[in-house]
Amino acid sequence: MTGCASNAPTPRSTSIAKEVVPVTGSPKSAEFSLVDDAWIPVLDAAGQRREVSLLGLFEQAGDIRMIACELPTQSFAILRLALAVLHRATGGPPGDGAWRALWHARQLPVGDVADYLGVFRDRFDLLHPEQPFYQVADLRAAKNNTFGLERLIADVPNGIPFLTTRAGEGMKSISPVEAARWLVHCQAYDPSGIKTGAVGDPRVKGGRGYPIGVGSVGALGGVHLEGATLRETLLLNLVPVAPGWQNGDDRDLPVWEREPQTASEESDATRGPYGLLSLYTWQSRRVRLFGDASGITGAMIAIGDRFDWQDRHLLEPMSVWGRSGPREREQKRTPIYLPRPHDHSRALWRGLQTLLPAPPAPGAEPPQRLSPMVVQWLARLTVTGVVGSDFRVRPRATSVTYGTQQAVVDEVFSDALTMNVLLLVENSELRTAAVDAAADAESAVKVLRRLADNLARAAGSRDTDSGDAERAAEQAYARLDQDFRDWLARLGPDSDPVTERASWQRLVRRAILRLGDELVAATGPAAWIGRAGVDRNGREVHYSSSQAEAWFRVGLAKALPMAAETPQQRQEEPA
């Protein structure tokens, strides 16, 4: 790698782990500078939406609530970009002490960030003629085809324009402001599938670039921690590059500190990944925007650098992970971990055991699931007292579901939970109570499903998959959703885990009983009379609405053994 100018300015921080040197390139004034021009949508403390520059994001972080883009995946991708900048400007940070100093400071090290961005200002120019940000300046197809914006903008289904609110003039041109956001999103989440073949890429055959997989972040079950301000959010996700956490490697550099990309894959020797800097700025695609400062009119997107996420859990801090049985069998070794995208059919609280898996027992096999490193880091800060036990945080999950050979985006998922930091600590009784409480709800809803099935049998239905049980479950989860979120947010250092879980079980019992009563009341005379049938154990039974209700109440009592109410509790707890 070139670019070793000895007179290059460096950030003021004395904790810089390795010298920051600019990549050489011809000087020019930026036409659209991501450093200076406003392009990142944010919500401020007053709830007002506005746009800030990359430097402004750090300068105003204490007054900004959150990054607030069109899609949560855009916000997540831009957050990772900002974290790459902050990691370099803080030199890691190189350990617990350095991180603690940042946390207790009144603001982010804006001077260091400004110095760092000043060194690489040209590399953050979206329209630079030689090294445009996240692009290849001379990228072209063999036939010099023209390209539209539907290749870049994720909320425009390619070939199905009637499924979007964008049409007509809205698809002819977009501002560089919007193009910058979609460019960052494209490198992170672009679908797989055949891409335009770029001249100079030896992988191209017949003018086509064949699939190499989705954008690197698209494979993650993304998780980041939200604080009360963007300053807190950035620091909570700034896991130190230090022993026991992120592995430090002098070869790990963000893409703007390396030579500009070409149409072909970057060499393994430079791209890595050697750490989170290359992960946060991974170039999954080769892109070229067409247009100028007055408007971007098209984008060529070709295949970029391939990526395999296997066993990257010690490098990538912002994902949930799970063991891969197929790969373990294929490679004949254990464990092998891969990122686990979130289940888009379930609210985050229903998968709490995935976000906060139980610690493995001593001498047990390697755990099936791993929580994100950002969660483990905040748990460590809580145990050591750096972050107070009364601190509340919002873990936010973000991921994408792809369809049809991963060539299209089917759904974007985002959900968050407010919780006390003690719930992140592995051996916390409060954490165990919360995970068990989520399981309590699942058990109770399972009993309600069985009631719906039994009522259908009593009414004469032979189809136990009629949809009644699924509709009842959906209604139950909808009723319990806000209740669980409120209950979880209420837990704190003064909460008694046993008392709180019993309180939750009573709340669930009342909600599910009401739904059960509604199902029973809605049955007709045929279900009252009932009919003979065979249960799941092969025994002959008589199905009727009254019998189904009796089974339902017995099942609910077993599912929620702590829900028995005293007369005083019936009066004190809200219905």
Per-residue pLDDT of 519-530, as tens digits, reads 999 888 877 777
Query: What pLDDT shows up at residue 465?
Result: 59
Average pLDDT on 74-81 reads: 98
CA distances from 436 to 189, 433, 507 (A): 34, 5, 14
pLDDT, tens digit, 9 for 90 and up, residues 178-205: 999 999 999 999 999 999 999 999 999 9
pLDDT at residue 161 is higher than 60: no
* Rounded Cα–Cα distance for residues 506 and 252 (Å): 52
* Residue 448 pLDDT grade (very low, low, confident, very high; cuts 50, 70, 90): very high
If we measure between CA atoms, which residue out of 556, 558, 570, 484 comes closest to residue 520? 556
Count of other CB atoms within 10 angstroms of residue 165:
7
Percent of the chain clearing pLDDT 90 (strictly above): 74
pLDDT at 543: 81
**pLDDT at position 180:** 98
Mean pLDDT of 341-356: 93
Which band of pLDDT confidence, cut at 50, 70 and 90, is reported for residue 135? very high
- What pLDDT score was predicted for residue 54? 98
Task: State mean pLDDT over 433-456.
Answer: 95
Q: How confident is the model at residue 26 (pLDDT cuts 50, 70, 90)?
A: very low
- Judge whether residue 165 has pLDDT over 80: no
- Look at residue 214 in the predicted model and tell me its pLDDT: 96
Tell me: pLDDT of 398 over 90: yes
| Nearest CA-CA partner of 91 in 231, 277, 258 | 277
Give start-end residues of each CATH 1.10.132.100 domain in the chain.
429-572
What is the rounded average pLDDT for all residues in the chain?
Answer: 88
Averaged pLDDT, 19-43: 73
Q: How far is CA 310 from CA 421, 423, 569, in A?
A: 29, 28, 51
Confidence of residue 7 (pLDDT cuts 50, 70, 90): very low
d(C-alpha 91, C-alpha 410), whole Å: 39
Q: Tell me the per-residue pLDDT of 62-73, one tens digit each, with 9 for 90 and over.
A: 999 999 999 999
Q: How far apart are CA 467 and CA 417, in angstroms?
A: 30
Residues 6+ apart with CB under 8 A from 273: 252, 279, 282, 307, 312, 315
- Least confident window among 42-56, 207-221, 317-331, 449-463: 449-463
Residue 444: pLDDT over 80:
yes
Residues 5-24, mean pLDDT to the nearest whole number: 42
pLDDT, tens digit, 9 for 90 and up, residues 494-546: 999 999 999 999 999 999 999 999 999 988 887 777 777 766 777 777 788 88
Q: pTM of the full predicted structure?
A: 0.90
Provide the CA 170 distance to its chain's centre, in angstroms: 29
What pLDDT, on the 0 to 100 scale, is given for residue 171?
73
Query: Residue 572 has what pLDDT?
Result: 47
Tokens 């046993």 correspond to what residue? 498
- Output DSSP code: residue 145: -
CA distance 17 to 12: 12
Q: Give the pLDDT confidence of 248-297 residue by residue, as tens digits.
A: 788 999 999 999 999 999 998 888 899 999 999 999 999 999 999 999 99
Predicted pLDDT of residue 166: 56
- pLDDT cut 70: percent of the chain above it: 88
Residue 31 pLDDT: 87
Tell me, what's the pLDDT at 178? Answer: 97
Mean of the pLDDT values across residues 137-163? 74
pLDDT of residue 130: 95
Q: Which CATH class is domain 429-572?
A: mainly alpha
CA dist., res. 281 & res. 86, Å (int): 13
What confidence tier does 24 reach under pLDDT thresholds 50, 70, 90? very low
Write out the H or E segment, with its range, that includes residue 226.
strand 222-226
Chain centre distance of CA 176: 26
Q: Of 385, 386, 393, whose CA–CA distance to 421 is shortest? A: 393
Q: Maximum Cα–Cα distance for the chain, whole Å?
A: 91
pLDDT at 511: 97
Three-class secondary structure of residue 383 per DSSP: helix
Q: Is the pLDDT of residue 23 over 50?
A: no
* pLDDT at position 565 over 70: no
Average pLDDT of span 71-84: 97
Q: Which two tokens stand for residue 15?
A: 């904790």
Average pLDDT over residues 7-32: 47
Question: Which has the closest alpha carbon to 105: 226, 235, 219?
Answer: 235
